[in-house]
Structure 1
């Protein structure tokens, strides 16, 4: 009896908290008058990329180049750990790092940022109240958002997006069309820039293996569910080491990959910056990955890819299946969906078939 009573109280508290958050969000989103989109007054565009992870940032990288080609000035708002991916991009005029909550210095920077158009490519999430505060600080002339109800007045233009099975990059096609820039889905390309020193170092290392094919292997993702087990990883490395014409380079978080046992023809990447991984993917022959950031890198350089996904849905809107939203999305990629919602259930023999097929054709 007491347990049922406690469960009812908890349920009521959850409903109250949700209602309170919704009220706060509505208050934050309120503004007296919305503006109409006038492209003749749009010059400086700000893209909100703070909510997105590293893989998402790679996908977003294609947008500034298109905007820049049309004469727009581009500012990227990002989290500090992703800023390096944008800082060398000549199509981006300004990169601003933001924290949650905003610091006083960041608040001042936003206050004086000139912004004609603010683009938020994401749906409503737990991050929305923070994004609304950012918009309020900037006070852009016009804002574009996705799928928000009309009660949220902070977005002047709301794009109704229901392509639940489409790739994340399709959102940018919708945005570009909204501002009269016509781009086909196949024409949207990721656009990465980094200092030449990373290529020079990688080229020096790979020069020792000129008669070998190079495979980049990423066995671990950001979550355990999407990662291989230690036994699987070792079995895959043993498998790959049996190919005499192949050098496999394992990339990923050092604290995980450094624990792996050495195998013939297998190297554990010791180069610490992510740009070394970018360069390794750029210079390799093919990629095997459970990590979507490496998947999107492979897309950027059009590399043959065997990708392993675990079935997932968006926690805020289960109509979006992440296997589709963040799929490789190019012709040279193979996408394997692991059974039972985890990479640990994948039969390695399936992976071996694809490796054999690639190495013998």
Structure 2
């Protein structure tokens, strides 16, 4: 069946001759941007990309909230997004025009470009046409408007199926499409720099120090103060030596502090006020367990293999793409598809008990 949109996508999404990737000619690479969780999941890909193209510049455009993650990463060039007007993100036509403008400002600057989203959208194909990188590696497109998943030749190479549906493995499949080899090093990497030992002596090593994060990427993933109090109080019932440290954002610090003081519980305290996500990651590194709603700090904990309990809305795709990757990882799924609320706190406590038993077992095996 004829589709006007499909015809337009075919016109702009095809070129006569596919480009040939010549590694020695790759001088500058553009990689996908994203929020904190996306970018932590992307770190094994960035590391493998640098290994494959050691002389190439690797650029990523990030917001100032995410940028500190790569402050100490020598092989990634962070370019701050200049757009600070929130209205552009809220008004659809402005968002579309901004996407095309950004593509124009970066036009023909890149030798290699990766795409990991599979939408068959005219705007996305048009922006890629404007960007005009020499070589594009992409996942298969979602079949739409009568266009097959691998029909468009603007994409020079399509990525084979990833090892799993997790975003980490999807990213790594982009490198595997070049090397035709499975990448073995799949660990997250956060370079702390001079923050490496900042919180080494912050936690009492005779206690079980649990960081609890109640704030997500949007209000739908935030826990209320009432549910936060119930959750923390429940954790204290497990063992007498458990201390719960609640993590919050700098602009919520004073408000949370007043709440915690009103609870009058010495084993529930507020985490120190952290400057940015890198500072928060440095703190998480020295905790014993992280319990958190689904958000970026979950992946920061996985970078240091801190045991994680992650609370998700009832969204299988979100769990599939962004489940925690620590050796000891647990997922609690809420009943609601969009909101994180009324989660199973008894299950959370059982998960904590399992983690403590496993840690004791590991410690015993290490000394015997």
Contact 1:220/1:226 (<8 A) preserved: yes
Who is 1:179 aligned against? 178
Deviation of 1:288 (Å): 0.6
2:214 and 2:356 map into 1 onto residues whose CA distance is 20
Q: Does 1:57 align with 2:50?
A: no
Aligned mate of 1:144, from 131, 137, 144? 137
Contact 1:34/1:156 (<8 A) preserved: no
Instruction: Kindly tell me the number of residue pairs found equivalent between the two proteins.
Output: 324
2:39 and 2:103 map into 1 onto residues whose CA distance is 21
Who is 2:123 aligned against? 129
SS in 1 for 2:260: coil
Deviation of 1:22 (Å): 6.4
SS in 2 for 1:339: coil
What are the equivalent positions in structure 2 for 1:312-351 lying under 5 Å apart? 312=315, 321-341=317-337, 342-351=339-348
2:303 and 2:232 map into 1 onto residues whose CA distance is 25
CA RMSD of aligned residues (A): 3.2
Who is 1:159 aligned against? 159
Q: TM-score, normalised by structure 1?
A: 0.77
Deviation of 1:124 (Å): 1.7
Q: 1:210 to 1:102 in 2, by over 3 A?
A: same
Contact 1:225/1:310 (<8 A) preserved: no
Who is 2:191 aligned against? 193
What are the equivalent positions in structure 2 for 1:269-348 lying under 5 Å apart? 269=271, 270-312=273-315, 321-341=317-337, 342-348=339-345
Q: Does 1:83 align with 2:67?
A: yes
2:347 and 2:119 map into 1 onto residues whose CA distance is 38
Who is 1:6 aligned against? none
Q: Deviations over 1:165-217 (max 9, x none)?
A: 72111212321221015234x63111212331x345423533xx242232111
Deviation of 1:59 (Å): 0.6
Deviation of 1:235 (Å): 1.0
Q: Deviations over 1:320-354 (max 9, x none)?
A: x2211111134311122223434313232221222
Deviation of 1:227 (Å): 3.3
Unaligned runs of 5+ in 1: 1-18, 314-320
Deviation of 1:118 (Å): 1.0
Deviation of 1:151 (Å): 5.4
Q: Does 1:67 align with 2:67?
A: no
Deviation of 1:31 (Å): 5.1
Aligned mate of 1:265, from 252, 264, 267? 267
Contact 2:28/2:112 (<8 A) preserved: yes
Q: Does 1:229 align with 2:232?
A: no
Q: TM-score, normalised by structure 2?
A: 0.75
Q: 1:266 to 1:58 in 2, by over 3 A?
A: same
Q: Deviations over 1:228-285 (max 9, x none)?
A: 3332210122234454423322113345563332331222232232222101111111
Who is 1:253 aligned against? 249
Q: 1:284 to 1:20 in 2, by over 3 A?
A: farther
Deviation of 1:84 (Å): 2.4
1:336 and 1:193 map into 2 onto residues whose CA distance is 29
1:279 and 1:132 map into 2 onto residues whose CA distance is 41
Unaligned runs of 5+ in 2: 84-94, 142-148, 361-368
